[in-house]
Amino acid sequence: MKNDKYDFRTKEFGLTDEGVHLLRNGFNYKTLPFGELESLRISEGKDSNNWVLVLAVGLGCVGGSLYGMYMLYNFLTSPWPGKINIEVIISVFILLMFGGYMVYFSLKSGPLILISHKGKRYKFPLRELVKAGTLDAFTSWLKEKQGVLA
């Protein structure tokens, strides 16, 4: 996205000739000058930071809902009469949808910018630049103006 203050901007960071500006709610809270960067590269990767944990919880939810469906099936096909509340049936399907979304979110990947500065590593998704169609201009700007793209 083009902005008056930044050459390129996403929700998490903005770029100027000065360096990489880390943003919170659109306000700069830290500037990483290009001269102090140890590395800056663009690569493909997972969008979420703790994708393994999110995947494990999502698979647990899907597994729990499948077990619940199995128990519901056994209950409904048994010869003994019984009563079941609609909340039980709905909760099994809600758990399945929640777990499915968590699995989808954990496996979602896209272009990332990886920055190393004074021993700290930063990882920001570039999905906003891809949607705006400015990712190629972004990479060429980094190569031409700064020469820091590894």
Examine residue 1 and state whether it is found in any structural domain, yes or no: no
Q: Could you tell me the two tokens for 16?
A: 């100027």
Q: How confident is the model at residue 149 (pLDDT cuts 50, 70, 90)?
A: low
Dihedral through CA 37, CA 40, CA 45, CA 47, nearest 10?
A: 50
How far, in whole angstroms, is CA 40 from its chain's centroid? 19
Examine residue 134 and state whether it is found in any structural domain, yes or no: yes
Domain count, the chain: 2
pTM for this prediction: 0.73
User: Could you tell me which residues are beta bridge partners of residue 110?
Assistant: 45
Distance CA 2, CA 118 (A): 29
Q: How does pLDDT run across 51-93, given as a tens digit for each residue?
A: 999 999 999 999 999 999 999 999 988 888 888 889 999 999 9
CA distances 76 to 64, 71, 82, 113, Å, are 18, 9, 8, 52
Query: What pLDDT, on a 0 to 100 scale, did the predictor assign at position 146?
Result: 61
Q: Does residue 128 share a domain with residue 100?
A: no
Examine residue 126 and state whether it is found in any structural domain, yes or no: yes
Look up the domain containing 23 and give its range. 8-43+110-146
Closest among 7, 16, 23 to 124, alpha carbons compared: 23
